[in-house]
Structure 1
Amino acid sequence: MLEKEFQVSRLIALYFRGALSAAQEHELNLWLAASKSNRAYFDSLSSEQQLSLELKTYENIKNTTKDEVWNMTLSKLEAGKEWSTKKTPGQVNVLKLRWQKRILVAASILLILGIAITFYERRAETSQNDISQNDVTAGSNKAYITLADGKTITLNGNKSGVIISGSNLNYNDGSAVAAPTSGEAKPFEAQFLTITIPLGGQYQIKLGDGTLVYLNAGSSLKYPLSFSGANRNVVLRGEAYFEVAKDKTHPFVVKTKGQEVQVLGTHFNVNSYDDEPVIKTTLLEGVVKVVSQAHKDVILNPGEQSAVYPAGRINVKTVDTASAVAWKNGDFVFNGDDLKSVMKQLARWYNVEVSYEGNIGNIGFVSTISRSRKLSEVLNALEMTKGVHFKIEGRRILVMP
């Protein structure tokens, strides 16, 4: 990440020592001509006071000029060398000459490091300003319900969930959800309802059988007011975490675009976004049966995750279940997630688009970040861990090398 900064710093250090070659001088001049800020910063280093301030930040140098910085470095290194009193004057002089060369190298490194760190921190500060200039707040409680006749009800964003009670729909604090026509609470006659969570939202719903469902951004769940028949069927798009009420005689079935999950009573997470290459089901408690559209099936035990591919193939592996449901608990948890996977999660939660610029290699992120933080704060945290940079332009994240 710092290779370029160190190369420029080396050229500046050689300039101060009067040791630039013709090729190095040309390279430094190209850097100076590339930006007014480069020239301004270089000119500021010509001031003894400014250079002293730059180096003082990292070496606690106070009230020193450039010459004093060099002399201080020399004296510190010489003080750390034990000169033997048994050596002859000639031997001592040879030792001094050798150590003076090493001291000069160390002093050069000190100057290079001081300038390089300053460059890097100024670059990081500029990047942070670019990121935070057009900041985006975190997602919040947002959802709407679509009735069988197509009418919609926008749910209260100050509430975190709804509960089905008989033919009534209430918020989790007990207050009634208003019907779309009169604005007054009344029984809902539609057999099937659909709760939709827009991008930048999340919501909970407690179904008629007592099953609790947490829905992530960009998701929807189609469900009946009351379950009837042999199975308790719901249809999911996107991502949801289920805490299924136990009923051994009526299996709970979650249908998605490419699979079914069949359970009797358990806790599990399903990620079935349309823009993801596989459908992932992660089991936390109990036992579930995952059936692909190719009629292949597997039984999951707690701690296992299935991945259903478009052709119907199913893979199973042991995973960190806490990571799979971190979104429900208010966190982003990345355990080696690649850049595009991370950006998809941010795009859904912050309701933004993502575009890429330049050649960005394969990058894996390992981090835990609160979903309550502003977008700029999340991006700054990611920048600190990997060689990638971000810029917010309206409701778009620009990803750069």
Structure 2
Amino acid sequence: MEQVPQHIIYLLSKSKLEDLRDDEKEQLDFWKSETTANKGLCDLLDDKNQLLKDLKGISNYDWEKSFEIFEQDYLNSTATKPVFNRIWIYGIAAALVGLLALFFVHNLSDAGYQQMPDKDIQPARMTGRVRLGNGNSILMIPGDTLLSLGKPILPTVSQADSLFAVTPRGGKMTILLPDGTKVWMNAQTQLDYYEVDSLREVRLVGEAYFEVAKKYLPLTGEVPKLKPFVVQAGKIHVSVLGTHFYVKSTKNLEDFKTTLYEGKVRVQQGERQIVLLPGEETYIKVGQIERRTIDLDMRNALKDGYFVFNSEPLAVIMDELAAWYNVEVVYLDNQVKSEKFEAMLSRNSSLKDIINVLESTGKIRFKFKGKTIYVEKQPK
């Protein structure tokens, strides 16, 4: 069996002494359903009669006499004694069950948490990888500031240009695409770029800020027309004609955002379309795109290096922090996920400083163990 997570040990221990809250029971039930080994351990500990019997047996068991019998009847005899063997095995199993339960109870009072995050947890650094269409790869190393993939602009494009860029958890990257477009990629972001004669297209999962370079269609005998630049974010399409904008697109549709700073973009979801002007943003409400006006100074966060939490649920905030600082997040109370916060903080801040700001609201409290953050309600 894999190591039991610390918060699960806490819940198993607590369940033996008092009733769990609904959210705690939900967490324990989910962990129990993940593997048969988890279920087996829970079933073993849920047998209260056997548990009490085993604990009592440990305290009353005459270990010295038992070993003497074992020496006489087993070690000094070549005969097999199946009945004795079963009793011995059952006794050892009972002892182990009892000791395991005692271990859980002990951990209830001493969970081994730290009050401050480890000092080696640092903000995201410049690192990422780009795979070119010809199969070659380029690694951006810490210390680099810009990875340039640009080339002299040719009057025509004879074949497709493509690349795939990715940043890991705890990484970020600024790249210059072959068409001259500059992209700031956040942590844990994937960008698939493809260009043909009539179109430039990006498929995005994660967060990125774009400064799109103007490029014209390779048509002769006509008034030059700008080559479209399209970002696909799942089933949402953002069509651009030379502009500055930000896109956030994760597997969670509700996290989608497109913010326009300069120029004009069209955001399309199925048959629904919204044309944005500078200072406007599309977001998801009840499963479909909507428009709202925003503060550009506040929303220019990714490019300028800030976190902006504008009445964001804690679950969204912690997902972003987990990717940026390369940590794991465990909720000891699921109800805190919906708590909302407002703040504007430097992405270069230490995790300790970010946590202090969130805790200062009096809503939540954090505990740490290694590279895992445990979140719970602030006790009253």
Find out whether 1:392 has 2:376 as its counterpart: no
Q: Deviations over 1:57-110 (max 9, x none)?
A: xxxxxxxxxxxxxxxxxxxxxxxxxxxxxxxxxxxxxxxxxxxxxxxxxxxxxx
TM normalised by structure 1 equals 0.57
Instruction: For 1:198 and 1:330, locate their aligned partners in 2 and report how far apart those are by CA, in whole Å.
Output: 17
TM-score normalized with structure 2 length: 0.60
| Correspondence 1:267 to 2:225 | no
User: Which of 204, 210, 213 is the matching residue for 1:245?
Assistant: 213
Q: Pick from 312, 323, 348: which aligns with 1:337?
A: 312
**1:360 to partner: Cα distance:** 3.8
Where in structure 2 are the equivalents of 1:2-401 lying within 5 Å? 130-133=115-118, 136-148=121-133, 152-166=137-151, 191-224=161-194, 227-247=195-215, 248-292=225-269, 294-308=270-284, 313-358=288-333, 360-361=335-336, 362-401=338-377
Quote how far apart the aligned CAs of 1:163 are. 1.4
Distance apart, 1:150 and its partner CA: 5.7
In structure 1, what residue type is equivalent to 2:209? Y
Q: Percent identity?
A: 37
Question: How many aligned positions are there?
Answer: 250
Call closer, same or farther: CA 1:367–1:386 in 2, change over 3 Å. Answer: farther
Cα deviation digits, residues 277-331 of structure 1 (max 9, x gap) = 2421111111100111x232110011111124695x2211112233333132111
What is the rounded CA distance, in whole Å, between the counterparts of 1:348 and 1:276 in structure 2? 18
Q: Output the CA distance in 1 between the equivalents of 2:202 and 2:181.
A: 11
Output one character per residue of 1:129-188: Cα deviation in whole Å (capped at 9) or x when no partner.
6123565111110101123466643222210221123399xxxxxxxxxxxxxxxxxxxx
Q: Quick one: distance in 2 between partners of 1:250 and 1:385? A: 48
Task: Report the counterpart of residue 94 of structure 2 in structure 1.
Answer: none
CA distance in 2, matches of 1:232, 1:319: 28
Work out the CA distance in 1 between the residues paired with 2:308 and 2:192.
28
> Cα 1:308–1:132, aligned 2, differ >3 Å: closer, same or farther?
closer
Q: Which amino acid aligns with 2:307?
A: F
Separation in 1 of the partners of 2:274 and 2:160? 35
Contact 1:271–1:281 (8 Å) recurs in 2: yes
CA RMSD of aligned residues (A): 2.5
Structure 1 residues 348, 310: closer, same or farther in 2, change over 3 A? farther
Amino acid at match of 2:277: N
SS at match of 1:265: coil
Distance 1:364 1:244, change over 3 A: same
**Whole-Å Cα distance in 1 between the matches of residues 141 and 286 of structure 2?**
37
The change in CA–CA distance for 1:282 and 1:350 in structure 2 (over 3 A counts) is: same
C-alpha separation in 2, matches of 1:342 and 1:278: 11
Matching residue's letter, 1:214: W
2:257 alignment partner AA: K
Bigger Rg, structure 1 or 2: 1
Unaligned runs of 5+ in 1: 1-127, 169-188
CA apart distance, 1:259: 1.0
Shift of 1:276: 4.8
SS at match of 2:298: helix
Report if the CA contact (8 A) 1:216-1:328 is conserved. no
Structure 2 CA distance for aligned equivalents of residues 202 and 310 of structure 1: 31
Task: Indicate the SS of the match to 1:380.
Answer: helix
Gaps of 5+ in 2: 1-112, 154-158, 216-224
- 8 A Cα contact 1:134 1:394, kept in partner: no
For 1:150 and 1:331, the matched residues in 2 are separated by: 35
CA distance in 2, matches of 1:191, 1:310: 37
Amino acid in structure 1 at the alignment position of 2:274? V
In 2, Cα distance between equivalents of 1:133 and 1:250: 49
Sort the Cα spacing of 1:203 and 1:130 in 2 relative to 1 into closer, same or farther, 3 A.
same
